């Protein structure tokens, strides 16, 4: 894995987001990337460990200013020290985060290959992911923006899809992108998967810093101007970079997909079978989790009788006793409980919106 200058890929770990669909465990104060949902390490720590070793430079983390302390705490024992922590003064979505990382990279005098990587995803097969990155490097070095499309294990209406132009292979398992598709209905998702040319959009991208800035300049020029100015006026304390709030806040609030990838002619996709999940809702936690002989995924103080295919998570001081549950999620923390069918947990976001409208509690 190499760029022309350093021989390294620079991971950029995107650490924003609230993870509201994993409420009540994930909250705005401690979102899912900082939680140990699987094992003893948080999703952020697992992401950093996944991007360590030969071929990788020290990572850059892009996070919100309010999350500075927890980011430093969780990464202080990382095998490779973090190159920089870029603290967004306000949230402006993934396009701004990508441009911020690219502008910072170029401000250091380099045009590195940047691997834009969410901090809150699970990749079960790291070796498959590394092979895909290696295949992506020549395309990114030549000026493409490479996305990584997870091969679907079945139709899923909670993911966006990338459609590949299979009739125009580029070599190394890469294809031009025909189109990005928003989250479809279940029926349409099944039709996508049946064609064999649609892949789940992982939100992972590899490109040179200069390519990101050039393409962003073409489609969101005002945001590029604001963010570059914010980097030029940034304050620094060790490896912590605080862009100018006045400048950065003028950037557009838009995703990298909508701002750039849906418009660029340089989009490339590499399909990869890497056991990927964005852990977007509690049913994904059940899918990934270690199951007992009855199909239950349990943690904490649980007493279960005749329960099947359920997710029982107890992070509270109480005991959860469950009888006869099937395909149910029961999630408990001190002060809040969630009980829902697993096939409806994706509706949690709309419920929280209603609850927030009713009062601050």
Could you tell me which of 23, 16, 25, 18 has the C-alpha nearest to residue 352?
23
What local confidence, expressed as pLDDT, does residue 171 receive? Answer: 87
pLDDT band at 29 (very low <50, low <70, confident <90, very high): confident
Does position 1 have pLDDT exceeding 80, yes or no? no
What local confidence, expressed as pLDDT, does residue 5 receive? Answer: 38
What local confidence, expressed as pLDDT, does residue 4 receive? Answer: 35
- pLDDT digits 0-9 by tens, 142-158: 999 999 999 999 999 99
What local confidence, expressed as pLDDT, does residue 346 receive? Answer: 87
What local confidence, expressed as pLDDT, does residue 359 receive? Answer: 63
Number of helical H runs and strand E runs in the chain: 11, 19
**pTM recorded for the entire structure:** 0.93
Q: All domains of the chain, ordered by start, with CATH? A: 9-277 (3.90.550.10), 282-358 (no CATH)
Average pLDDT, the chain: 93
Q: Which of these ranges, 6-10, 247-251, 301-305, 349-353, has the smallest mean pLDDT?
A: 6-10
Cα(203)–Cα(259) distance, integer angstroms? 13
Cα(106)–Cα(207) distance, integer angstroms? 13
Judge whether 99 and 255 are in contact, CB under 8 Å.
no
Does position 288 have pLDDT exceeding 50, yes or no? yes
- pLDDT digits 0-9 by tens, 249-274: 999 999 999 999 999 999 999 999 99
Cα(234)–Cα(86) distance, integer angstroms? 10
What local confidence, expressed as pLDDT, does residue 354 receive? Answer: 84
Cα(16)–Cα(97) distance, integer angstroms? 9
């Amino acid at each position: 894995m190499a760029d022309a200058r350093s021989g390294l890929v620079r991971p950029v770990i995107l650490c924003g987001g609230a993870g509201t669909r994993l409420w009540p465990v994930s909250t705005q104060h401690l979102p899912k990337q900082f939680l140990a949902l699987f094992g003893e390490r948080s999703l952020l720590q697992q992401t950093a460990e996944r991007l360590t070793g030969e071929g990788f430079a020290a990572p850059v983390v892009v996070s919100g200013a309010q999350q500075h302390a927890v980011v430093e705490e969780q990464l202080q024992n990382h095998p490779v020290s973090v190159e920089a922590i870029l603290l967004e003064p306000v949230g402006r979505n993934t396009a701004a985060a990508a441009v911020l990382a690219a502008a910072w990279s170029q401000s250091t005098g380099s045009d590195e290959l940047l691997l834009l990587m969410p901090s809150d995803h699970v990749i079960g097969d790291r070796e498959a992911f590394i092979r895909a990155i290696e295949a992506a490097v020549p395309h990114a070095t030549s000026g493409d923006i490479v996305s990584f499309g997870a091969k679907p294990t079945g139709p899923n209406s909670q993911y966006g899809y990338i459609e590949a132009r299979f009739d125009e292979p580029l070599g190394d398992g890469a294809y031009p992108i025909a189109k990005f598709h928003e989250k479809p209905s279940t029926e349409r998702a099944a039709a996508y998967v049946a064609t064999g040319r649609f892949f789940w959009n992982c939100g992972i991208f590899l490109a040179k810093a200069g390519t990101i800035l050039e393409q962003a300049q073409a489609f969101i020029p005002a945001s590029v101007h604001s963010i570059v100015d914010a980097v030029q006026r940034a304050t620094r304390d060790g490896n912590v970079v605080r862009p100018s709030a006045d400048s950065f806040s003028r950037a557009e609030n838009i995703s990298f997909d909508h701002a750039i990838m849906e418009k660029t002619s340089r989009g490339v996709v590499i399909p990869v079978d890497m056991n990927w999940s964005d852990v977007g809702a509690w049913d994904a936690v059940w899918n990934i989790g270690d199951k007992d002989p009855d199909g239950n995924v349990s943690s904490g103080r649980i007493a279960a009788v005749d329960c099947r295919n359920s997710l029982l998570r107890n992070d509270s001081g109480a005991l959860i006793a469950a009888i006869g549950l099937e395909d149910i999620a029961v999630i408990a923390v001190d002060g809040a409980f969630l009980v829902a069918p697993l096939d409806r947990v994706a509706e949690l976001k709309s419920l929280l919106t209603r609850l927030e409208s009713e009062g601050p509690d």
